[in-house]
Structure 1
């Protein structure tokens, strides 16, 4: 997600705890447990896939998107306003998430992988 934003000219918060005073974005082990919620932006690819206003996610990052790059859409954010998902609508399927769905077994995370696979057909 962070690389997508940089490629489109955006910037990063280099250390969330230092710059924002928020430290709950590094949960440690185990990674298969959710630790905070994210609010999903309506009328986004992420919302269209999940059909939910919020989901619970895991978290393991100390950097985050600061300023969105050109053509980048905010798809979800944490309660402390840290951006947790972005997308680039100019592409068929370009969605980046800050959490790690590969460690989770929630229906929402399974839906993300299914939507990605379906987009390849």
Structure 2
């Protein structure tokens, strides 16, 4: 583990891969909404970006104390053996492969993992699960993603006596923006929260130090930082063990 010169545990956050413009440039870039960075930092972590680096997942995970799999593009249905739905958005297969490997490496090492929105879906797919490719087909509404760039709000019920309930309690209102969701549950995962319409809102992996995927966007809540704080607390445990 590389020291960052302070007591903050290092939290690696996976990045978007997008064509982006800044200054006079328009180029492919590794991007990350700054709310992820500020959320981790407010919680006491040292955020670092993890760009897509083929064949380097184990090395990347070995340099951090926790991993956040960030939101972003739809997961390629080929990753879970399905053909594409007409409403499927642009996919990034290279990012899918990279983040699945980050997750597998983190789980093997006992490194804390938090999957956010797409990240929860990638966690599920990495463990053999599947996704609803277009949620409005099953729930018959669009409240989870009301309009482009407009977050919805979900009332989430969390299962008692779970890791997530210990962090957030058993009922919480959350910001959401997704048209896909977890369908068949991946190996070992347990559903620990649902929206009022039955949509899976969170999963966790029992027996692991910290492996939680949430369908909502905790980074968008500037007031409630409890989920990032719980991740950083788990990362501090890892950092302490590495120093012992």
Shorter-chain TM-score bucket reads 0.7 to 0.9
Task: Confirm whether residue 26 of structure 1 aligns to residue 141 of structure 2.
Answer: no
Return the offset for 1:10. Answer: 1.0
CA distance in 1: counterparts of 2:153 and 2:221, whole angstroms:
11
> What is the alpha-carbon root mean square deviation over aligned residues?
1.5
Residues 78-115 of structure 1 show CA distances to partners (whole Å, capped at 9, x for unaligned) of 000000111112321111111111111243xx111111
Structure 1 unaligned segments of length 5 or more: list them.
Answer: none
Q: Which has the higher contact order (CA 8 A, sep 6+)?
A: 1
Aligned residue in 2 for 1:36: 154
Alignment length (residue pairs): 116
TM-score between both structures, scaled by the size of structure 1: 0.87
What SS class does the counterpart of residue 191 from structure 2 fall into? strand
What SS class does the counterpart of residue 203 from structure 2 fall into? strand
Larger Rg: 2
Q: 1:94 aligns with which of 211, 214, 231?
A: 211
Aligned residue in 1 for 2:135: 16
What SS class does the counterpart of residue 141 from structure 2 fall into? coil
Task: Confirm whether residue 53 of structure 1 aligns to residue 138 of structure 2.
Answer: no
Q: 1:62 aligns with which of 179, 183, 190?
A: 179
Larger fraction in strand: 2
Aligned residue in 1 for 2:23: none
Q: Retained in 1: the 8 A contact 2:150–2:177?
A: no
User: Are the structure 2 counterparts of residues 112 and 24 from structure 1 closer, same or farther at C-alpha, using a change threshold of 3 Å?
Assistant: same
Task: Confirm whether residue 77 of structure 1 aligns to residue 194 of structure 2.
Answer: yes
What SS class does the counterpart of residue 26 from structure 1 fall into? coil
CA distance in 2: counterparts of 1:73 and 1:80, whole angstroms:
18
CA distance in 1: counterparts of 2:145 and 2:123, whole angstroms:
21
Structure 2 unaligned segments of length 5 or more: list them.
Answer: 1-119, 237-244
CA distance in 1: counterparts of 2:146 and 2:153, whole angstroms:
7
